[in-house]
Structure 1
């Protein structure tokens, strides 16, 4: 059977980028969290913040390392699987990625060693500055990567000569029309992701009776940030959607499974809660929709309309099923976040946050919610850009290297095996760290936690903490 090299190359890149994006999205927020903790320790001299900062630095080290390793693989794929892409848009994308390395990665690499190993070896203020530099570096990395990806969504500031894109105006390239809202949306998502991990870990420790005072600090700080950022993320997401409607209307039509056509392009648009997009017959099966809501969300009027998929040539339409469902998964997870912070805020205001065993048991399972929302958002964004790898310049099918599908399939299988082993081990180790917490490790001489067992009576201690409440 002849394997389609385009499909295999896309599957391979999707697989590797799925693993990669998990770690930068976590370390962006985690670096800021560690910096905040150390800053609070310098100001208050409360050793609890210092202990937490040291503990989360261990988690950061593992996450950062796995992010770097998975990112290197992606850059190699530009040459092995997507050589035509490198040839056509490399004059623009290459420098943007180079700027990310020169400014963000070099900044992180310069101060990372001091951040990880400088405890008790350099003055506290210098160590704080190192943490701050790493936090700035991770955010700058997001800046350049989002700029490059946004340019691929809606290229600007370039010219095409003989099928090759050349930069003309770097400010227009960097700050392309879809970039600002997407950057804000992504950075907020990274902070929310980290806040949920911290919040859930604090709840987990409280239930298990591990470092109760540190756990309370984590729950307060995590929930407090979420109460601020999750509603703001709703506005940022809406602004990003409005921007996408302006510059990539076919993507929005796919996200909403809005087919349009004769008799459907005027009048109010319903918001489709659920359906199965039938691309063969250009309609939705099993549709459940709320009248007028689609018009209100998309056009800010009750009877506004947008272009439907039928108004675009078939060869310029993205697949509909994936962006339709992943977009709704992202929205559904955001709704769950809102309900969580609403319940937590009410309990906190009533002084019952740490006395509600049911809420804390629920909260401890929320650590992956930010990661899932980010993945759903990226699948929506990248699938919705198809059939273009760089909109209007290069189609995805024309960007693949002249490599046999069987060879790509072999490397994909190897990637799955290696990633499965390496990243499972890394994730397992992070979970071990989060399971035991700083007090247990300190009680055993701050040694590697891999040989530790949970403290006897931890559950009883946790029960007493919960009974004590605030």
Structure 2
């Protein structure tokens, strides 16, 4: 297909499917936690607007959750079709971890999802809140186990290689809590929260622009801006720690991220922008800050930094892709930081809902989190090349003995089905977001406020929160 070998087509297929998949968990992890917060605020304050917002976003969560499940299931099949050698060699390590993800995370999410979506009038407010917390916990556990698997592939630990070349576990704690796992888990979960915050903020800003008096829109926008202001600087700090960990365990990846083709014995520059020239081993038209990279990575202006000239050429990651994806991620991160800081200033001036250019900027930043997550995953995965298990198993050694035509045909099928299915799902989600939140979302009349204790009055429940004998 297009003159590409089976290995390259298999890599393209996995990259394509995971790019579709990752945006849904990144959204659902943060959105599940946001739903739990809204539910808690409703129970604590008795204000119907919080249940209005809960019901508004739970429909969007249900669609995103469904698309995430479907796209994730498809990916698992590729381990058997395109990457069977990889599955055979690392199955004893990552197989149980992925099984734990299904047992402890997916079952938890799926088991309580129905209660969260439809069970308020049947189980009562407090048990409904508990179900919402379980769904949020399930999304976090999914991230925990999947990132443990991927982190082990980045920084393998707690293993031995048996006589037939399989990786076997010698220490499960070392496998799960491998050297990069804590950093990558924090970085990814914070990215999910920021992704959700900017989607919620964009929807809130859109409806504030249309109707400044919409209470639900104002509340969701305010909550999103608080999240941006608080979490964005924490994410930048966590990302710095993650980068230092990567420098320790995967130095070639950092060299590619920084664009350091050559070693710098007296302090390395921070290259802000430029055009990687892999043929000539340099960055053309580089805009750089002298010695700043050494300051960031070693906390010393004159600290030496090794370059890709110290790495055999066949073991170097593709510099161009990693260099630019890293800068896209960093650029969006600082844009988020700027939005959060500006929101604090406008909040202090009591003009958070009044400055239309700021509201429009918030709308435009809606998809920024998804772009940043994709750029981060590209940096992580392409920067690991040419390995699947870093330093131990190459990508070429991991592929199935399969013909290019077979991989190409399945790739074309994925492209057609994914764009049709997930395009329709995304269109439906956008339609839901275009609809403004209103009181009817919760089914609670404005003149029947919920008690601060969280008991919902009216015809659905009696004063104790139990279902009446007769309706």
Q: TM-score, normalised by structure 2?
A: 0.92
Q: Which moved more, 1:358-367 or 1:66-75?
A: 358-367
Q: How does 1:49-448 map to 2 (within 5 A)?
A: 49-161=50-162, 162-209=164-211, 212-260=214-262, 264-439=263-438, 442=441
- Please report how far the alpha carbon of residue 406 of structure 1 lies from its aligned counterpart in structure 2 after TM superposition: 1.1
Q: Which residue of 2 aligns with 1:457?
A: none
- Please report how far the alpha carbon of residue 393 of structure 1 lies from its aligned counterpart in structure 2 after TM superposition: 2.3
Distance 1:10 1:440 in 2: 48
Runs ≥4 in structure 1, deviation > 6 angstroms? Answer: none
Contact 1:211 1:438 in 2 (8 A): no
Deviations 1:112-133 (A, max 9, x none): 1111111322200011000000
Unaligned runs of 5+ in 1: 446-470
Secondary structure at the counterpart of residue 108 of structure 1: helix
Q: Which moved more, 1:366-375 or 1:113-122?
A: 113-122
Secondary structure at the counterpart of residue 271 of structure 2: strand
Deviations 1:395-439 (A, max 9, x none): 101111111111111111111110111111111111111101232
- Please report how far the alpha carbon of residue 210 of structure 1 lies from its aligned counterpart in structure 2 after TM superposition: 7.9
Distance 1:94 1:167 in 2: 11
Secondary structure at the counterpart of residue 163 of structure 1: coil
Q: Which residue of 2 aligns with 1:12?
A: 13
Secondary structure at the counterpart of residue 437 of structure 2: helix
Deviations 1:259-288 (A, max 9, x none): 22xxx4310110011122222222222222
Distance 2:280 2:353 in 1: 54
TM-aligned CA distance change 1:60 to 1:442, over 3 Å:
closer
Contact 1:30 1:194 in 2 (8 A): yes
Q: Which residue of 1 aligns with 2:32?
A: 31
Contact 2:152 2:176 in 1 (8 A): yes
TM-aligned CA distance change 1:177 to 1:444, over 3 Å:
closer
TM-aligned CA distance change 1:441 to 1:73, over 3 Å:
farther
Distance 2:11 2:288 in 1: 32
RMSD, aligned CA:
1.6
Q: Which moved more, 1:386-395 or 1:201-210?
A: 201-210
Contact 2:325 2:376 in 1 (8 A): yes
Distance 2:282 2:218 in 1: 51
TM-aligned CA distance change 1:443 to 1:268, over 3 Å:
closer
- Please report how far the alpha carbon of residue 2 of structure 1 lies from its aligned counterpart in structure 2 after TM superposition: 4.8
Contact 1:277 1:320 in 2 (8 A): yes
Distance 1:244 1:184 in 2: 14
Q: TM-score, normalised by structure 1?
A: 0.92
Distance 2:442 2:127 in 1: 28
Distance 2:126 2:441 in 1: 23
TM-aligned CA distance change 1:42 to 1:100, over 3 Å:
same
Distance 1:376 1:366 in 2: 15
Distance 1:5 1:210 in 2: 55
Contact 1:22 1:371 in 2 (8 A): yes
Secondary structure at the counterpart of residue 364 of structure 2: coil
Contact 1:2 1:405 in 2 (8 A): no
Distance 1:354 1:438 in 2: 17
- Please report how far the alpha carbon of residue 442 of structure 1 lies from its aligned counterpart in structure 2 after TM superposition: 4.8
Distance 1:408 1:166 in 2: 29
- Please report how far the alpha carbon of residue 313 of structure 1 lies from its aligned counterpart in structure 2 after TM superposition: 1.0
Q: Which residue of 1 aligns with 2:23?
A: 22
Unaligned runs of 5+ in 2: 445-471
Give the total of aligned pairs: 443
Distance 2:248 2:286 in 1: 26
Secondary structure at the counterpart of residue 69 of structure 2: helix
TM-aligned CA distance change 1:2 to 1:341, over 3 Å:
closer
Distance 2:155 2:84 in 1: 21
